[in-house]
């Protein structure tokens, strides 16, 4: 998971660096390892700046140097390639022209693509798949000078999940999305008078930047905004079935974003409601019990769960807002240490039966520590409710779940997981419950089922 943003401003004299910075701040939750911005104006070379860590690392001086009315930005969460600064996006290529490119996703055939480029006499300087994508695109662009032909060539070669923004010197801004639409990508426009465009991984930056949502970039589609702000669209590859990552709604995206026209907040509420119905059918509901969310991503489901079951809702777990997202930290040690700093429980839990609602249970690090913490504060009983089915397999599309063994649910029954996290009861939804909550079945559920979109080809 990373985030991308691209802006083409109608005001030729207006630098977009501050707008890109603000959009990246909105998307910070999708990647904390590094951030990068590339910009260019008419007849200008591409300027680029990358920083390790959070978007806040950019200074006013950095942004003032990034001149130009077209630009792209990225926040990085390392899955392919290490988190060193050379691997941060945007990646710049200077032949056959200057191109800056940034992507969200992961290629599955990296070694094959590397070999293909090697056979063409093209060397790689990083171990990051964005360089491979940039060089594939450039390979075809050198021959055809046509952006759509170059994307077609890239899409034929690359297997995986990718949403991409690309700034081409003196040409314009290009955005495209893999044929399954695994990672999200939306487009917005300022107004009919101000023709500025924005592409972003989620819709929240459009709202904040004053852009009106226009559309989701379609799976397999490429959109090119030229220097005169003319919008050119082309379907490059059309699959009969899409496979949007279910984890975007479960955990990754901001609740105020819409993904594929479905509100992330609403989808989490739907899941809370469904879990409330399941708890009722299991006769677990007791009016004296309390519903407590694991903040923040468990909150929308917990509110709906409490409404459905007529139980009291309490924010008994307090989150320190200055600690970064723990799921996307690189090592288990870092995650465990930061959960302690990040979450603490109020004394209000003493003597209570708690329905503890979380968006999902991935490695179990958070679940174990929270259950232990609530019990140490005197909670009488903990019924753990996961709003996502059991995660049993790896993610091959840009989420940092590289081995099955790191997943607490892999190879275990619900009761074995319950014992391991120390809860008194544990409730999971089914895959069908999740599809019902999202109101669609064109989903990637690879990490829940072991069946991945590309395996079906």
Q: Are 105 and 76 in contact (CB under 8 A)?
A: no
Which residue among 395, 407, 426, 427 contacts ligand SF4 (CB under 6 A)?
Answer: 395
Stretch that binds ligand SF4, among 203-211, 378-386, 395-403, 424-432 (CB under 6 A): 395-403
Which residue among 182, 225, 311, 388 contacts ligand SF4 (CB under 6 A)?
Answer: 182
439 exposure class (CB count in 10 Å sphere: 0-12, 13-18, 19+):
exposed
Binding to ligand SF4 (CB under 6 A) within 415-454 occurs at 444-447
Q: Which of 2, 26, 388, 444 is catalytic?
A: 2
- Residues in the interface with ligand SF4 (CB under 6 A) total 11
CB of 430 to ligand SF4, least distance (A): 15
- In this complex, which beta carbon is closest to ligand SF4, that of residue 70 or of residue 110? 110
- In this complex, which beta carbon is closest to ligand SF4, that of residue 66 or of residue 438? 438
- Can residue 399 be called a binding residue for ligand SF4 (CB under 6 A)? yes
Pairing of strands 212-216, 381-386: unpaired
- In this complex, which beta carbon is closest to ligand SF4, that of residue 292 or of residue 361? 361
CB of 275 to ligand SF4, least distance (A): 19
CB of 80 to ligand SF4, least distance (A): 13
Residues 6 or more apart whose Cβ sits within 8 Å of residue 177: 162, 163, 164, 183, 185, 217, 218, 219, 220, 221
CB of 245 to ligand SF4, least distance (A): 3
What is 303-321 written as a DSSP string? Answer: HHHHHHHT-EE---EEE-T
Residues 6 or more apart whose Cβ sits within 8 Å of residue 29: 252, 254, 325
Which residue among 188, 397, 409, 423 contacts ligand SF4 (CB under 6 A)?
Answer: 397
Binding to ligand SF4 (CB under 6 A) within 238-267 occurs at 245-247
- In this complex, which beta carbon is closest to ligand SF4, that of residue 239 or of residue 381? 239
395 is catalytic: no
- In this complex, which beta carbon is closest to ligand SF4, that of residue 291 or of residue 445? 445
CB of 201 to ligand SF4, least distance (A): 14
- In this complex, which beta carbon is closest to ligand SF4, that of residue 339 or of residue 445? 445
Residues 6 or more apart whose Cβ sits within 8 Å of residue 223: 174, 175, 176, 187, 199, 217, 231, 232, 233, 234
Burial 104-138 (b: 16+ CB within 10 A, else e): bbbbbbbeebbebbeeeeeeeeeebbbbbbbbbbb
Q: Are 117 and 135 in contact (CB under 8 A)?
A: yes
Secondary structure (3-state) at 439: coil
Q: Are 291 and 311 in contact (CB under 8 A)?
A: yes
Catalytic center residues = 2
Binding site for ligand SF4 (CB under 6 A): 182, 245-247, 395, 397, 399, 444-447
């Amino acid at each position: 998971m990373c985030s991308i943003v691209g802006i083409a401003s109608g005001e030729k004299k207006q630098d977009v660096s501050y707008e890109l910075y603000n959009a990246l701040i909105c998307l910070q939750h999708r990647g904390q390892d590094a951030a990068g911005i590339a910009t260019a104006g008419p007849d200008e070379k591409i300027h680029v700046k990358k920083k390790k860590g959070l978007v806040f690392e950019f200074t006013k001086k950095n942004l003032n140097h990034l001149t130009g009315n077209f630009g792209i930005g990225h926040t990085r969460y390392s899955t392919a390639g290490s988190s060193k600064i050379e691997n941060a996006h945007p990646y710049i290529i200077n032949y056959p022209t200057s191109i800056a490119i940034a992507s969200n996703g992961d290629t599955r055939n990296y070694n094959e693509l590397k070999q293909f480029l090697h056979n063409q006499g093209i060397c790689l300087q990083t171990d990051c798949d964005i360089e491979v994508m940039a060089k594939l695109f450039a390979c075809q662009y050198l021959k055809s000078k046509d952006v759509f032909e170059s994307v077609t060539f890239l899409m034929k070669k690359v297997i995986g999940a990718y949403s991409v923004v690309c700034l081409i010197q003196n040409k314009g801004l290009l955005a495209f999305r893999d044929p399954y639409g695994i990672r999200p990508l939306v487009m917005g426009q300022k107004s009919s008078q101000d023709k500025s465009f924005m592409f972003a991984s989620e819709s929240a930056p459009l709202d904040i930047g004053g852009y009106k949502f226009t559309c989701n970039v379609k799976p397999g589609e490429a959109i090119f905004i030229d220097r005169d702000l003319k919008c050119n669209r082309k379907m490059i590859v059309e699959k009969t079935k899409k496979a949007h990552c279910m984890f975007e709604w479960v955990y990754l995206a901001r609740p105020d974003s819409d993904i594929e026209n479905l509100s992330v907040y609403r989808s989490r509420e739907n899941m809370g409601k469904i879990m409330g119905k399941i708890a009722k059918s299991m006769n677990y509901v007791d009016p004296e019990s309390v519903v407590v969310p694991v903040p923040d991503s468990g909150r929308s489901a917990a509110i709906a769960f409490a409404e459905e079951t007529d139980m009291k809702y309490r924010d008994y777990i307090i989150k320190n807002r200055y600690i970064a997202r723990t799921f996307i930290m690189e090592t288990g040690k870092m995650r465990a240490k930061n959960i302690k700093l990040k979450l603490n429980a109020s004394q209000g839990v003493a003597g209570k039966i708690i329905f503890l609602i979380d968006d999902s249970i991935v490695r179990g690090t958070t679940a174990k520590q929270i259950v232990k913490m609530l019990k140490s504060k005197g909670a009488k009983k903990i019924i753990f409710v996961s709003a996502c089915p059991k995660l049993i397999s790896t993610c091959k599309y840009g989420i940092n779940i590289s081995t099955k063994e790191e997943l607490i649910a892999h190879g275990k029954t619900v009761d074995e997981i319950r014992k391991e996290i120390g809860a008194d009861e544990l409730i999971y939804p089914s895959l069908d419950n999740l599809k019902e909550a999202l109101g669609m079945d064109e989903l990637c559920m690879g990490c829940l089922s072991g069946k991945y979109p590309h395996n079906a080809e």
